[in-house]
Structure 1
Amino acid sequence: MIKRIVPLLLFYNSIAFANSPPNSKYFSPISESRRALQDSNREIKQLSKLSHKEQIEQNLNKSELKAKKQILPESDICLPISGIYLQGITLLNNTDLENITPISHDCITTSTLNLLAREVTQLYLDKGFITARVQFIQPNKDGELGVQVIEGFIEKIEGGNWWINTRFLFPNTINKPLNLRALDQGLDQANRLQSNQATLDILPGQLSGGSIVVLHNRHKRPWFVSTSIDNYGQINTGEWLGHTTLSFDSPFGMSDFFSININTTIKSYSEKFNRSYTLFYSVPYGNLTFSNFYSYSQYLTKLQLPNSLIDLDGNTQQYGIKGDYLAYRDQDNLITLSGQLTQKRVNNYFADALILVSSPKLSVLELSVNHAHIFTDGVLNSNFSIEKGLSILGIDSSKNIINNQFIKYKFALDFNQYFTAFDANYQFKHQLFAQYSPDPLPGIEWLSLTERSAIRGFSHSSVSGDNGWYIRNTLSRSYWVAGSQVTPRVGFDLGQVYPQGKRRQESTAFGFSLGITAHYNQATIDIDISRGEIVSGSVTRNEPIMALFNLAYQF
């Protein structure tokens, strides 16, 4: 009987928990599950973005490639030739060649030939073919001067080892055209591992047009350990948390990466705790990066009823695979296509009885496109994704009381700008996130405004819904004080959620924050003071001032 009654009772409670009041003693199992999944997703995204961050940093440090000014001595004297023909071009199309300045056959000079050579070479450089060379051939019997293009290719790659696996970083490149973008991608994949600091040289080969790519690497120890403590946890399950991350670079000699994260309440009380574990593995293959992950979390808290103390406990787990493909790359842009399949399983219990409405099982397919545009003073990153709930991997929609075949659209925009004001250097960081679904979503798929990664300043209240958006704005400046880098910051956040259903009204939340981060060698200290406020209809709820502390150290 209990198992039949509890789901109905908790169904109504789960609605109330979605917008719980400040200083509430109530506990929302679905909110705790959503928070656990979002925390693990944040860890997974940070790990999968390592190569993307490396690509942006590499491009920021590159200068534009320019063709040599001249091949022949400049002269305005007309040469005894009747025309010009091109040969050896296979990597440029007719549209590319239309950008070449038209040549008048009435008077062809060495200046004309130098301009032609520069423009042809620049067309190759713009596409990343940096070893293409232009040579002039003696005029034929018709008096036409030949322009021979030697399109460079990779003769061989040297310097590969256990930490830099050339078969995975530079696949199918031998005897293929030498393209700097492909080489840069391989370098980025190698340097996404913290133990690598790889560079390359391009040397002349033994064959005509051939080049030898020589890799160099300043290798450090392949394992890393980081640990931290903070008070980012929840009152009901334990505020003070400990985190440990252990990672290994190239454990199988494929320039691959493995990481395990362990998070737990520092003191596990008999009446409350929170623990989570995340495993992540990735392996590159040229423009492709494959990864898989697994996360598990569990919690326990107590609910005081009039005549008894009841256990509320649960666990969440998700596992999935992901593929990222760098579809386009140039001096200022990176476009990445991604696909991810994830299974999520949530179990929440009330006095050992499963709460069906708060225990969904989902299989979700996500397709996304990411575009990074690099400016001289910053980076603009945008991401659009579509998520679709599927009835696969053991998910039976006919036996599920929760809509597990939803569709959800998400958009994220990150803009980092560096500027100078009053003889000081500043960084402005703007983040926008929005999601929309025409379907009622499971609670774990809602957008929560009061999560630490969304609007800052909330520790008691909870506001979430199917649809919504938020923006985060942070202004910071870095100083060097006694060998430490100190970065104070100020932030303002704003957002809204729009739950499904005619009777439920939108809620607005905003928050202010002041913080400071200090780095000294391998240690980092972060302090953040913030306060949030919620406006729901005619009701305004003020959140108490929240002080967050984080101490981290990397070995």
Structure 2
Amino acid sequence: MKPKYHITVLANLFVIQATFNIFKSRRLFLTNIVFLTICFQSYSFAITPSEQRAIEQQDIQAKQIIQNERQNLIRQKEADEIEKISKTSYRLVDGSSKKNKIDNKSCQIIKNIQFQGNKKISNFTLNRKFLKPLRKSKLAINRSDFSDDFSFKKARNNDLCLTKNDLLMLHEQIQNYYIDNGYVVARVYFDGLEISKGSIKIIIEEGKLEKIEIKDNSKLNNIFSWRRSLQKFFAFPSIWQDDVINLRDVEQGIDQINRLSSQSAKIGLEPAHKAGYSNVVVNNQIDHFGMFSLVVDNSGQKNTGKIKRKASFNYDNLIGINDNIYVNYSESNGVPLFGSSKSFNKMIGATDLSHRRFSKAFYGAMSIPFGYSTLGASYSSSKYLVTSEGLVSPTRSSGDSQIKTYYFDHVLWRGKKHKISLKAELEQNSTKSYIEQTFIPVNSRETAKANFYLNNTFYISGGTLYFQPKYSKGLSAFGALKDKKGLSPDKARAQFETFGFYAQSNINFPLYLGGSGCSSGA
């Protein structure tokens, strides 16, 4: 008998969502959002001798849908964190200086220039970047700049003839170089006591830390003051008293705080009691610690139920170390929110769809940052039941899966507008499949794989760009299935290698509607 094909046009028409902000407000915010998404899907029900193969394929598709939903959940959470961090401003010091318009043509013979007090940037680097170009431009200049031949010849023997304007420009260049490298409280000045002897000392105070202080509006932190100490230590573990202040290190700690949806931290620098020292002050506005969300929509699949119910819980800084806990649960059991599915009931010969088809998924994740590194783990489980039209009676296929992941993320480099991090992840996957409660080994397996991500984040004007190359390798360890020798190329493998690439942009731009402006993301 020829297969029968049914083509269905589906329209997602509604999403009802309720969000609770915990420990901040007792109000219930109810938002009705209407989406209109037209998608075309085709379902084929083939009444042929290969029915079992079709059911197994349907089983694979059901698992893939659940896996895609899990991946989308993870992607959305990562995108929210990137967007949250990108809104932080770090413009503490304006590195640009106005050009000095001093016009002083008389020059002073300088035999020796020494750097003093610099530890973070070496003498070799400073000489190469500033003194070497200066020697090329100021060595052996015009005879008219000197009062006699002796002074002119002496200047040509590797001595420099510098004007006041030259010294001011040298000061500005060194100062800006320190600022560009994150040493925003560094100060550069000249010791000209021996300038008459042809010697100048360039003294650099690189700027040291006296203390870091976190200020916030949390009543909980006022009661348990040790929470602020923990939060400070886990955000800034590499910054200690008497260390030279580098803005990149401070920015990294602020990013670890601001990745939490409840936190909005900003940096402040204040002069300390000691000369050459500064205090880093973190002003953190805490909106809420936890958020609970309920969603009902029609984003589910027809074979497991279009109406989907979701509940999610997010809690920030539970133990005071910038940690995050996230839990999400979703289910659909074929029972419509409004009306009934008579056509589907008739097709599978069922009256109670909650016992004939369903999908349930749970996802939980937690993460703990420590300076430039982040540790995290997640666990997800899912179950489903699908009822298909059979030759004699409806056929039920079901399955369950569990996924455990553990990851370590470390920032390799960060600059003013670019950050690179490497993420290593171990993923263990266990799936089981059944047809009419009979175990199906071909679709059931234990697998493990290692994932490596090179995350590139660019902070551009009005938004962010995110690029993520990925490498995955199937493992034979951790109780994973091992491929048999001589496995044909068309068979799925447990030991494999894949490469991938993911990109995302979030750019805000103004929209003018009816004379008023608003911003939108793309």
TM-score (norm 1): 0.68
Q: Which of 313, 317, 322 is the matching residue for 2:398?
A: 313
Q: Structure 2 vs 1, CA of residues 92 and 67 (structure 1 numbering), >3 Å: closer, same or farther? A: farther
Whether the 8 Å contact between 1:72 and 1:114 is mirrored in structure 2 is no
Q: Distance in 1 between matches of 2:504 and 2:95?
A: 31
Q: Structure 2 vs 1, CA of residues 213 and 73 (structure 1 numbering), >3 Å: closer, same or farther? A: farther
Q: Structure 2 vs 1, CA of residues 482 and 90 (structure 1 numbering), >3 Å: closer, same or farther? A: closer
Match of 1:463 in 2: none
Q: Distance in 1 between matches of 2:515 and 2:358?
A: 39
Q: Which moved more, 1:357-366 or 1:151-160?
A: 151-160
Q: Which of 172, 176, 180 is the matching residue for 1:126?
A: 180
Match of 2:60 in 1: 30
Q: Structure 2 vs 1, CA of residues 481 and 294 (structure 1 numbering), >3 Å: closer, same or farther? A: farther
Q: Distance in 2 between matches of 1:323 and 1:262?
A: 25
Matched, 1:214 2:281: yes
Secondary structure of 1:315's counterpart equals strand
Matched, 1:412 2:502: yes
Deviation at 1:280, TM superposition (A): 0.7
Amino acid at match of 1:157: I
Whether the 8 Å contact between 2:86 and 2:459 is mirrored in structure 1 is yes
Q: Distance in 1 between matches of 2:521 and 2:72?
A: 24
Match of 2:465 in 1: 380
Q: Which moved more, 1:220-229 or 1:293-302?
A: 220-229
The within-5 A match list for 1:314-329 is 314-329=399-414
Matched, 1:296 2:364: no
Deviation per residue, 1:434-474 (Å, 9 max, x gap): xxxxxxxxxxxxxxxxxxxxxxxxxxxxxxxxxxxxxxxxx
Q: Structure 2 vs 1, CA of residues 478 and 361 (structure 1 numbering), >3 Å: closer, same or farther? A: farther
Whether the 8 Å contact between 2:83 and 2:464 is mirrored in structure 1 is no
Amino acid at match of 2:328: N
Q: Distance in 2 between matches of 1:230 and 1:98?
A: 64
Amino acid at match of 1:132: A
Amino acid at match of 1:185: Q
Secondary structure of 2:455's counterpart equals strand
Q: Distance in 1 between matches of 2:388 and 2:163?
A: 90
Q: Distance in 1 between matches of 2:71 and 2:42?
A: 26
Q: Which moved more, 1:104-113 or 1:62-71?
A: 62-71
Deviation per residue, 1:215-248 (Å, 9 max, x gap): 2222222011122222111111011111111111
Q: Which of 345, 360, 365 is the matching residue for 2:450?
A: 365
Deviation at 1:122, TM superposition (A): 1.2
Deviation at 1:72, TM superposition (A): 12
Amino acid at match of 1:340: E
The within-5 A match list for 1:456-475 is none
Deviation at 1:132, TM superposition (A): 0.9
Match of 2:28 in 1: none
Deviation per residue, 1:12-50 (Å, 9 max, x gap): xxxxxxxx9823246511111122122112212333444
Match of 1:170 in 2: 236
Q: Which of 312, 317, 320 is the matching residue for 1:250?
A: 317
- Give the strand-richer structure, 1 or 2: 1
Q: Which of 181, 201, 213 is the matching residue for 1:158?
A: 213
Amino acid at match of 2:409: D
Amino acid at match of 2:187: R
Match of 1:136 in 2: 190
Q: Structure 2 vs 1, CA of residues 96 and 378 (structure 1 numbering), >3 Å: closer, same or farther? A: farther
Deviation at 1:346, TM superposition (A): 1.0
Q: Distance in 1 between matches of 2:310 and 2:103?
A: 67
Whether the 8 Å contact between 1:72 and 1:110 is mirrored in structure 2 is no
Q: Distance in 2 between matches of 1:219 and 1:115?
A: 44
Amino acid at match of 1:182: D
Q: Which of 77, 82, 93 is the matching residue for 1:47?
A: 77
CA RMSD in angstroms comes to: 3.1
Amino acid at match of 1:205: A
Amino acid at match of 1:339: A
Q: Structure 2 vs 1, CA of residues 47 and 413 (structure 1 numbering), >3 Å: closer, same or farther? A: closer
Match of 1:112 in 2: 166
Deviation at 1:119, TM superposition (A): 0.7
Secondary structure of 1:171's counterpart equals coil
Match of 1:87 in 2: 116
Q: Structure 2 vs 1, CA of residues 181 and 297 (structure 1 numbering), >3 Å: closer, same or farther? A: same
Whether the 8 Å contact between 1:70 and 1:114 is mirrored in structure 2 is no
Deviation at 1:379, TM superposition (A): 3.5
Amino acid at match of 1:23: Y
Q: Distance in 1 between matches of 2:417 and 2:514?
A: 31
Q: Structure 2 vs 1, CA of residues 189 and 50 (structure 1 numbering), >3 Å: closer, same or farther? A: farther
Deviation at 1:75, TM superposition (A): 4.1
Whether the 8 Å contact between 2:377 and 2:404 is mirrored in structure 1 is yes
Q: Distance in 1 between matches of 2:506 and 2:258?
A: 22
Secondary structure of 1:275's counterpart equals strand
Amino acid at match of 1:47: K
Secondary structure of 2:365's counterpart equals strand
Deviation at 1:486, TM superposition (A): 10
Amino acid at match of 2:368: V
Q: Distance in 2 between matches of 1:112 and 1:487?
A: 48
Q: Distance in 1 between matches of 2:287 and 2:482?
A: 50
Secondary structure of 1:218's counterpart equals strand
Identity of aligned residues (%): 25
Secondary structure of 2:72's counterpart equals helix
Match of 1:145 in 2: 200
Q: Distance in 2 between matches of 1:97 and 1:42?
A: 52
Matched, 1:98 2:128: yes
Deviation at 1:414, TM superposition (A): 2.6
Q: Which of 234, 238, 263 is the matching residue for 2:301?
A: 234
Secondary structure of 2:88's counterpart equals helix
Deviation per residue, 1:64-110 (Å, 9 max, x gap): 84154479977444347544222222222434653324153543222
Q: Distance in 1 between matches of 2:519 and 2:257?
A: 31
Amino acid at match of 1:155: E
Deviation per residue, 1:295-335 (Å, 9 max, x gap): 11111121232222222111111011112212222222121
Match of 1:280 in 2: 365
Q: Distance in 1 between matches of 2:261 and 2:61?
A: 35
Q: Distance in 1 between matches of 2:512 and 2:502?
A: 26
Deviation at 1:343, TM superposition (A): 0.4
Matched, 1:354 2:432: no
Deviation at 1:177, TM superposition (A): 1.9
Q: Structure 2 vs 1, CA of residues 149 and 70 (structure 1 numbering), >3 Å: closer, same or farther? A: farther
TM-score (norm 2): 0.72
Q: Structure 2 vs 1, CA of residues 127 and 54 (structure 1 numbering), >3 Å: closer, same or farther? A: farther
Structure 1: give runs of 5+ residues left out of the alignment. Answer: 1-19, 420-424, 426-476, 490-555
Q: Which moved more, 1:350-359 or 1:370-379?
A: 370-379
Q: Distance in 2 between matches of 1:326 and 1:479?
A: 41
Amino acid at match of 1:318: I
